[in-house]
Structure 1
Amino acid sequence: MKIELKLKALAVAAIMAAGTPAFAAIDGGPSGNGELLLNVRYYGGDSATTGGDDISGLFDLGFKMDDMIAANGQAGYTKSWDLKTGDYGASWSQLTSFVGASNLGKMEFNVIALDDTDRNLKGGSRYLTTGNVDAFPSQGNANVKTMNGMDKYVDANNSRGTHGTVVNGASVATATDPSDTFFGAINGFGQGDTWLQKTTVDTTQAVGTDQNFWFLTTSSTSNLAQATKTPFGFDLNHDGTIGAGEFTKVSLSEAGVLTITSPVPEAETWAMLLAGLGMLSMIVRRRTGV
């Protein structure tokens, strides 16, 4: 009888667990492999925190940092999200309704990802970020380490919107909402646009802008040394650097479509590449006697 009751109790517990949505928290810095996060913000007046005309939205893109890094250097790589649909739709609608149709072009966006699990080691602090510059300016290791302050924003939003009930959720916040939930007032005043003043680059740009994408990480254990700043893209001319026309572009349209796209080589470049691979294959076959 005791065994039967115990089995019944286990069965009930299993049914209850199955009926309860799993907590789908955003993977931020402490996870070691943070998810890509889209931040959309609108500052309607002179201040991001007064006037009641400011709003921000946080969209969990469900794509891990390491997967994005692995895609760097792939020609023609593309990935997109439609924010009007699915688990993002309600938050996108709330955001755009607040802003109003005539002001949609004034919204700004960035895409980021966080990893801060080994911040005292070389390469231990890792961040992905949009930055509409062809050469990332001075960025020291010390400031890259303290970009982990953005985790407060991630943590504060984890219990809002649909982040806790769906795999990849979204939330919206205004300046009057709970502390650290609004993109324009983290730690009470710091804006996420510049990673709380830890970057010299304004990482948010108006919707419709094709932003470049960057990987920032600590180059050594010295706080005084410059961080490693790696651009995303494809080296079309094979000169060892990413230059004009070679950057991976991140763009958000007023219609709510986010895209990440790497450049595609022209037909002649593809032909030369294939010819080179063919010659390499012939050389290998001759050397191996195949």
Structure 2
Amino acid sequence: MKLKLAAAAALVALSGAANAAISNGADGNGELFFSVWDANSSYSRDLNITINSFESALAAVGSYLNVVAADSVFTSFLAGADLSTVKWAISATDTVGARRMIETYSALPTNPSPNDSIRTAAGGVGTFVTALNANGTATAESAIYAFGNAGYAGQSLYGDNTNTRLGFSRSGTAANDSYETGLGMLRVDALATGILPAKYTPYADNGSALRAFLDLNQGSATFGQLTIAAPVPEPESYAMLLAGLGVMGAIARRRRNKQA
């Protein structure tokens, strides 16, 4: 299977990019971020992928694959988390004009929320991202937030469905650990005014559904690894890509160390 080079480049960017805040969509091109939470704390990470670049990568030739290995902060979070109750999601939003959001979903509703509810949801996610930046991700790629902190992902402002405004559940569990059981990914579009139903468009690539899945199987060699893929790559292609990304990541780290 031919894999998109853009996906590999995205992961290398994650390993070598300078720390920067997550874009909250106020510039019209928000960034994807990844959050995991239980009742006590949450972890959030900047995926360093804008909505525009994400959609451009999907439109390119080949099959989309982006693999994000657990960093030390996520490993620390998982060590104390209740894996039987954790929830996780990927989101991005624009908060000006006609709203657009990228969200994971477990089940797509038949009746989309009205535009005004989506505008409120987009604003809530934007406010949540601002809180993430104020409390950690503005100076680090990822951070842990305690319950009660403005950056805690389980709060109603974000959480499962942004105070029910989305009209569907954005979150997954430890059971969403493979392509077959993973969360779908969709684009939500709402007009700048009015209350007509918003538009929900599931993402696909080469005719296959785009899915996100998270390995929370303790003892697994890829424990804590987030994968976004469409469709599932053959095992040999997957192994070759991971090997190549490992080498490129090592090069990026070596370059950072020389610059430090």
TM-score, normalization: structure 2?
A: 0.71
What residue is the counterpart of 2:68 in the other structure? 81
Q: Distance in 1 between matches of 2:74 and 2:83?
A: 12
What residue is the counterpart of 1:133 in the other structure? 107
Determine helix, strand or coil for the equivalent of 1:111.
strand
TM superposition shift of 1:114: 1.0
Q: Distance in 2 between matches of 1:252 and 1:23?
A: 24
User: CA, structure 1 residues 24+73, in 2 after alignment: closer, same or farther (shift >3 Å)?
Assistant: closer
What residue is the counterpart of 1:216 in the other structure? 188
Letter in 2 for 1:60: D
TM superposition shift of 1:108: 1.4
What residue is the counterpart of 1:183 in the other structure? 153
Q: What is the aligned length? A: 204
Structure 1: runs of 5 or more not aligned = 1-21, 44-53, 119-123, 237-245, 267-290
What residue is the counterpart of 1:72 in the other structure? 58
Q: Distance in 1 between matches of 2:144 and 2:64?
A: 30
Aligned equivalent of 1:95, options 65, 68, 77: 77
After the TM superposition, which parts of structure 1 deviate over 6 Å for at least 4 consecutive aligned residues? none
What residue is the counterpart of 1:164 in the other structure? 138
Deviations 1:73-101 (A, max 9, x none): 565211111123xxxx2x213311221xx
What residue is the counterpart of 1:260 in the other structure? 228
Aligned equivalent of 2:124, options 149, 157, 170: 149
What residue is the counterpart of 2:204 in the other structure? 233
Determine helix, strand or coil for the equivalent of 2:96.
coil
Q: Distance in 1 between matches of 2:194 and 2:99?
A: 12
TM-score, normalization: structure 1?
A: 0.64
TM superposition shift of 1:144: 1.2
Letter in 2 for 1:36: L
User: CA, structure 1 residues 140+117, in 2 after alignment: closer, same or farther (shift >3 Å)?
Assistant: same
What residue is the counterpart of 1:37 in the other structure? 33
1:248 equivalent to 2:201? Answer: no
TM superposition shift of 1:106: 2.8
Question: Among the aligned pairs, what percent are the same residue?
Answer: 22
1:104 equivalent to 2:83? Answer: yes
What residue is the counterpart of 2:6 in the other structure? none
Letter in 2 for 1:216: V
- Which structure has the bigger radius of gyration? 1
Given that residues 73 and 233 in structure 1 are in contact (C-alpha distance below 8 angstroms), is that contact kept between their aligned partners in structure 2? no
Q: Distance in 1 between matches of 2:59 and 2:111?
A: 22
Supply the RMSD in Å over aligned alpha carbons. Answer: 2.4
